[in-house]
Structure 1
Amino acid sequence: MMRFKPVVFALLSAFSLVACSGSNNSSTPDPVDGGKDRKAILTHWADNIIIPAYAGFKVKLDAMVEKSNAFAAKPDAGTLAAFREAWAEAYIEWQKVELFDVGPASRRSIRSFINIYPANVSGIGKNIADPSESMETTSSYDRQGFPALDYLINGTGSSDTEIVAYFTEPAQGAQRLNYIKRITDHMQQLVNNVTADWAGAYREDFVTKTGTDIGSPMGELVNGYVLHYERYIRSGKFGIPSGAMLNGVVAADKVEAFYKKDLSKALAQAAHQAAVDFFNGKNVKTGAEGPSFKTYLDALQAKDATSGKALSEIINTQLAAGKAKIDGLQPNLYQQILDNNQAVKEVFNELQKAVRMLKVDMTSAMSITITYTDNDGD
């Protein structure tokens, strides 16, 4: 999503356990009764959600790379259309793993390399002209990944004929095709490394270090999950383009998939549904719900302070309200903002209600400290 400078604040829950950031064990015993068995929760997350979700994304990514290679070998309208379709499918699948900003993905900054938008068109041009430009620097984030491919295969011409001509132009066509390969190779490398880490030692660390303190797998994942919902779904997909996060300044050109605008809603739907499914512990392989934020909150008997209802029920109700607002938008979020921006702002408002519940109520009940900063003052 678009990068912005947060106003630094620290939200420390009244029930949080503060520990040094390198700690792996909670200062309290790991409860193992019923739904409070954190090892069972972490094991379910690893084996039935995170690892298979990455496997599913890798299948789509590898298929996209195959189609990109076919396009490079023979740039024409047919191979372009096949590449574009595979890109869209992989982009949607990415939304289902982007929320797992923990361990290998966090250390490798995979989200920053794969989905920072809007794409930096002038930077992409610079990288095309100079193949020695690094793909590993922070300044390269918005020159690669899905948004850069979006520009290259959807935005370099007003028609498929013009886009094909862009890649077959005698002077620079080969360099442009080579840059696509640099992007896709880097994406594959990142994903292969993350999946290899999960298949190796990290999975054991994840399921056995069961504390909730700062630096624990659960603490890190909860922070990553809430940050993703707040910054990358609420703000990135709706708040910034609609102007709700920019003091009313509308920035429709900052929608995700700007050059393939009719994909923008589908990406947002996939991301939000992934967040809902993870909250409820939905098994990627079977679709059944398992150990999760929901079951843990229920085992802790966490209640909503106002209604007295189960906190998990209140959160799920609010998540459903946000989903309904997203579903009511046009497929093209850019056009939606131009036609009826209020509808997009209403999505932002519904998601903001869920942010407060996740960031304050849920983490307080779980005794987990929010360690990241953002700019909305929640």
Structure 2
Amino acid sequence: MNTFKRTIAVVALLSGFLWACGESSTTEPAPDDDSKDRKAVLTHLADEIILPAYANFKPKLETMISKSQAFSAKPDATTLSEFRQAWVDAYTEWQKVELFDVGPANKTGIRNYYNIYPTNVTGINDYISDPSVNLEVATSYDKQGFPALDYLINGVGATDTQIVAYYTASVEGPKRLAYIKRITDHMNALITKVIADWNGSYRTEFTTKTGLDIGSPMGELVNGYVLHYERYIRSGKFGIPSGAMLNGVVASDKVEGFYKKDISKILAQTAHQAAVDFFNGKSVKTGTNGAGFKTYLDALGAKDSATGKTLSEMINAQFDIANQKINGLKPNFYEEVKTNNAAMVQVYTEMQKAVRMLKVDMTSAMSIVITYTDNDGD
């Protein structure tokens, strides 16, 4: 994905909304109560969403790795099919945790290693030839992770027979299988570290440091959440492939899941629903809503002064519209861009409305400064 850079002026463009914080000063929470509310929010998000979501993802990744090992031991149509299905399952589950760009995930940059697309085919072939290449540098991002595996198990041949032949070639085959192992081992090491850090000291830091200053868990969490929705869902999955962010130049080769072709919709649906559920504090364990961005905004009394509607209500309404537009797409975004691109642009347009509410109105109501940069003119 492309990186967008422009400094955000948070106080600008309130989208026509003046968000009141309660009926009067007497109804505003005192600083101590406010801190307690944030602690409750952070604790719920950590224990009911983030940690259990990671716990759900890890076995999916481990199954994928196991199937990749079985394929490497005996490359044939059956082991390839099983590897491919496990890859789809893990890739889909990844969409539910990619948004946690805070603490350990942010420090390791795990998203950059897991899901930068389009993948770099030339670079992958160079890395296959040189097993000593460093996978821990920024130049390696687009040569590994789920998109690289997409190419390696779906794109190296037109048929499964051709793909198997790619890996059974007497000279090059073992090198190619070795690179799959390098990729999957690196993915496993990264997620293992992220989960270990969360289960170590970071959960305590996350739930007890309740300030709103730059670098605080709450500030970092909100920034990571908005960044994910804006850049990695709205732009990456829709804005760039449809050309909405490229001056109308359609880029069908930049869809997620490019080589598998028929999974781009389910990846997008899963990612968008995960963002919606996180906003509403929906527990991964119980499926019920709890403390989250919605309850925090409601406690602050963030409303549209003209209509009296709460900000959280309006954000959820816009989420619903975006979901409806996504659901109306066909499974293959590569073909949608080519034959029904107006529908892809409509998704981008509706998501952009949600971006403004999240990035300007929500952060303003929460008194949180956006610290990342972009250049997309929102």
Superposition TM-score, scaled by structure 2 size: 0.94
1:9, distance to aligned residue in structure 2 (A): 1.7
1:8, distance to aligned residue in structure 2 (A): 2.0
1:308, distance to aligned residue in structure 2 (A): 2.5
CA distance in structure 2 between the partners assigned to 1:30 and 1:301 by the alignment: 15
Determine if contact 2:280/2:289 at 8 Å carries over to the other structure. Answer: yes
Determine if contact 1:13/1:368 at 8 Å carries over to the other structure. Answer: no
1:9 maps to 2:7: yes
Tell me the residue number matched to 1:313: 313
CA distance in structure 2 between the partners assigned to 1:185 and 1:105 by the alignment: 17
1:374, distance to aligned residue in structure 2 (A): 1.1
CA deviation map 1:77-115 (0-9, x unaligned):
000000000000000000000000000000000000000
Tell me the residue number matched to 2:264: 264
Unaligned runs of 5+ in 2: 13-28
1:29, distance to aligned residue in structure 2 (A): 7.0
Aligned to 1:100, the other structure's residue is in SS state coil
CA distance in structure 2 between the partners assigned to 1:165 and 1:371 by the alignment: 49
Aligned to 1:276, the other structure's residue is in SS state helix
CA distance in structure 2 between the partners assigned to 1:139 and 1:306 by the alignment: 49
1:122 maps to 2:122: yes
Aligned to 2:340, the other structure's residue is in SS state helix
Tell me the residue number matched to 1:112: 112
Q: Structure 1 residues 308, 81: CA separation in 2 closer, same or farther (over 3 Å shift)?
A: same
CA distance in structure 1 between the partners assigned to 2:202 and 2:11 by the alignment: 28
Letter in 1 for 2:200: G
CA distance in structure 2 between the partners assigned to 1:259 and 1:119 by the alignment: 10
Identity %: 67
1:30, distance to aligned residue in structure 2 (A): 4.3
Determine if contact 1:235/1:245 at 8 Å carries over to the other structure. Answer: yes
1:32, distance to aligned residue in structure 2 (A): 2.2
Determine if contact 2:6/2:376 at 8 Å carries over to the other structure. Answer: no
CA distance in structure 1 between the partners assigned to 2:187 and 2:171 by the alignment: 27
Superposed, 1:163-174 pairs within 5 Å as: 163-174=163-174
Determine if contact 1:30/1:210 at 8 Å carries over to the other structure. Answer: no
Question: Where has structure 1 moved over 3 Å in runs of 4 or more?
Answer: 28-31
Tell me the residue number matched to 2:206: 206
1:12, distance to aligned residue in structure 2 (A): 2.9
Unaligned runs of 5+ in 1: 15-27
Determine if contact 1:262/1:331 at 8 Å carries over to the other structure. Answer: yes
Tell me the residue number matched to 1:68: 68
CA distance in structure 2 between the partners assigned to 1:330 and 1:338 by the alignment: 12
CA distance in structure 2 between the partners assigned to 1:366 and 1:334 by the alignment: 38
Determine if contact 1:13/1:363 at 8 Å carries over to the other structure. Answer: no
1:368 maps to 2:372: no
Tell me the residue number matched to 1:177: 177
Tell me the residue number matched to 2:328: 328
Letter in 1 for 2:312: S
CA deviation map 1:272-319 (0-9, x unaligned):
000000000000011010001110111111012443211100000000
Determine if contact 1:30/1:38 at 8 Å carries over to the other structure. Answer: no
Letter in 1 for 2:316: N
CA distance in structure 2 between the partners assigned to 1:351 and 1:300 by the alignment: 24
Aligned to 2:260, the other structure's residue is in SS state helix
CA deviation map 1:14-59 (0-9, x unaligned):
8xxxxxxxxxxxxx974426x9711010000111100110111101
CA RMSD of aligned residues (A): 1.4
Tell me the residue number matched to 1:86: 86
1:193 maps to 2:193: yes
CA distance in structure 1 between the partners assigned to 2:187 and 2:163 by the alignment: 23
Name which of structure 1's ranges 300-309 and 155-164 shifts more when overlaid on structure 2. 300-309
Determine if contact 1:322/1:351 at 8 Å carries over to the other structure. Answer: yes
1:32 maps to 2:33: yes
Letter in 1 for 2:274: A
1:3, distance to aligned residue in structure 2 (A): 2.0
Determine if contact 1:30/1:37 at 8 Å carries over to the other structure. Answer: no
CA distance in structure 2 between the partners assigned to 1:36 and 1:269 by the alignment: 34
Aligned to 2:350, the other structure's residue is in SS state helix
CA distance in structure 2 between the partners assigned to 1:29 and 1:373 by the alignment: 32
CA distance in structure 1 between the partners assigned to 2:305 and 2:124 by the alignment: 50
CA distance in structure 2 between the partners assigned to 1:82 and 1:31 by the alignment: 54
